[in-house]
Structure 1
Amino acid sequence: GGLEILSVFGGLEILSVFGGLEILSVFGGLEILSVFGGLEILSVFGGLEILSVFGGLEILSVFGGLEILSVFGGLEILSVFGGLEILSVFGGLEILSVFGGLEILSVFGGLEILSVFGGLEILKILSVFGGVEILSVFGGLEILSVFGGLEILSVFGGLEILSVFGGLEILSVFGGLEILSVFGGLEILSVFGGLEILSVFGGLEILSVFGGLEILSVFGGLEILSVFGGLEILSVFGGLEILSVFGGLEILSVFGGLEILSVFGGLEILSVFGGLEILSVFGGLEILSVLGG
């Protein structure tokens, strides 16, 4: 039908033309070249390569521990086996993977994922989603992650953990060290191992020290200072102050502008209510009271 078919046998070639299209094939471990609808397919066997083109797209593949390069819809896929790497591109995205204790790099939607494995440990995993990056390192190392522009850095093995959520930062250090955390612009600092704990909530601060030390806390602009181990306790509520000392010492308290002074251990008790004063002395001594002036 106006088309020509030329064929050569004996391990040679076969050339055929159908509808203006040509098919050239060579056997004997050589190549096969075929053209369909303006598209060309070239293939080479014998551990060599295979190059194929479909719909303007090209597919190149190499076997024998070599590489495989394929292109679909303008996208390219390159893969190398034998402990080497695998690079693939889908929708303009690229995936690079290396095995044998090496790394795996993958990119999806403009986002990148880098992972490194090993028989001993996992080095790091770097991932980017929505412009956000996640970097993780295991084996007593650190983990850095970023979500929504926020960053999370964590270090294990008695080190620290730094995390940021919603623009807030959380820093934590274990192993007798400190823990610093920030929520809603508020900060929480805590130190364990007989040290102190400092916390801030709603602009208020809480400082606490254990191990016979003191505890300082501030709520609503009020401050609470407490010292244990036979020392004193100072507390302020509503602008009023409460000072108390245990261990046979005294207790001083002020409520509503009035003052209450009490001393235990055979000493005296002084109290003032409504502008009146009550003085009492126990221990076989006397009781002095003044009421109504």
Structure 2
Amino acid sequence: MTQYASRCLSIVAISLLLAACQSAPQQVTNLPTDDLVAALSQLEQSIDRGQLSSAESQLAALQPRAAGDTRLESLQRRLADAYMQQGQSALQRGDLDTASTALAQARSLMPQAPALTTGLDSAISQARSAKQSAAQAAAAKAQAEAAAKEAAARAEQAKQLRLAAERQAAAVQATALPNAPSEPKPHLIDPAAATSVVPLPMLDSQDNEALRQLLDRVAADVVQFDCAVRVQVRQAKDYPWVASLLSARVKRLQPGYALRLVQDLKPDAAPRLLLSPTR
């Protein structure tokens, strides 16, 4: 009987102890935070804030510790997407260098999925091609404008030479004595010189009207002073044109005159006539 009572008391004591444990308030203790979870959270925050360079450094530090962790792989994909967005924004601003750098960063983060970056890569290539075409067009325009300015300068030079020759002719005519015997007066040459040079800048500027007016005076000097003519031109095709114009004017002044013409081809020299009088 005593043994039975002892067992009953033991059971009651154990029951009371369990009840006390269940009803007693549990004490909450500060457990240590998982440093990997904290590091992943910090990486996520860096991505959300757009601190991509810092996030990439954090990712590199976590990869040896969390290789194969799906959370890290997800954040790596998010970082790649953030670089892609950065590249798109730079492309819209026309900043192709920044867009290319962002594209390269995204590719390095997702090398196993190259198709993800194909669209941005194609857009950058098209933008570079368009930029290069625009630069080439601008260079061609500048070259054309420079050529036009040079042609205008040559035309102006020819005009000034023509006006100077006309003024010289007018001055010679004004100083002639009224009763002096008529003597042949040169238009462009120096009869005392062995050879006189007459520039032909209008050949380069293709000013045919100025060329015709100049050859009118050349023809007069050729007939009056019996000049041999050397035609110095840059291109062979220019010689027949000059020779034809000069011959027509000489025949008009003196139909039976035997014009002496020599071609002198010098591509690097300015066009000109060399007149050598024999009278």
TM-score range, shorter chain: under 0.3
Higher relative contact order (CA 8 A, sep 6+): 2
* Structure 1 length-normalised TM: 0.25
Scaled by the length of structure 2, the TM-score of the pair is 0.26
Query: Greater strand share, 1 or 2?
Result: 1
Report the structure, 1 or 2, having the larger helix content: 2
| Bigger radius of gyration among the two | 2
